[in-house]
């Protein structure tokens, strides 16, 4: 389970790079930060601001549950990796 999450995040970040062609929605870093650091109820409120379908909302909340089992150190390391990937997306 611990390996699954970083692989998922890297895959999503790389997919974001391909789709965005160098531009990243300003809300993405906020949503990612909330996913890693905000309590679950706060993350749910933030996520609802984007008006996701119920299927997407449930998938995001399952991902949040998986992230919440990580230690703070692991969360910060994952955020650092995703941040670097997003910066690369902006460069390219």
The domain ranges of the chain are 4-91
Instruction: Tell me which of 24 and 32 has the higher pLDDT.
Output: 32
SS3 category, 50: coil
| Domain at 4-91, CATH class | mainly alpha
| Ranges 11-15, 47-51, 67-71: which has the least confidence | 11-15
Q: Report the distance separating Cα 33 and Cα 29, nearest Å.
A: 6
Q: Are 66 and 4 in contact (CB under 8 A)?
A: yes
Q: Are 63 and 8 in contact (CB under 8 A)?
A: yes
**pLDDT in the model for residue 29:** 79
Q: Report the distance separating Cα 3 and Cα 6, nearest Å.
A: 6
Q: What is the pTM of this model?
A: 0.68
């Amino acid at each position: 389970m611990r390996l699954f999450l970083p692989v998922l995040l890297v895959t999503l970040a790389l997919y974001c790079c391909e789709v965005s062609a160098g531009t990243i929605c300003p809300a993405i870093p906020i949503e990612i930060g909330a996913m890693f650091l905000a309590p679950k109820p706060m993350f749910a409120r933030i996520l609802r601001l984007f008006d996701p379908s119920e299927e997407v909302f449930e998938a995001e909340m399952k991902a949040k549950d998986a992230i919440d089992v990580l230690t703070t150190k692991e969360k910060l390391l994952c955020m650092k990796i995703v941040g670097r990937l997003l910066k690369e997306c902006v460069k390219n």
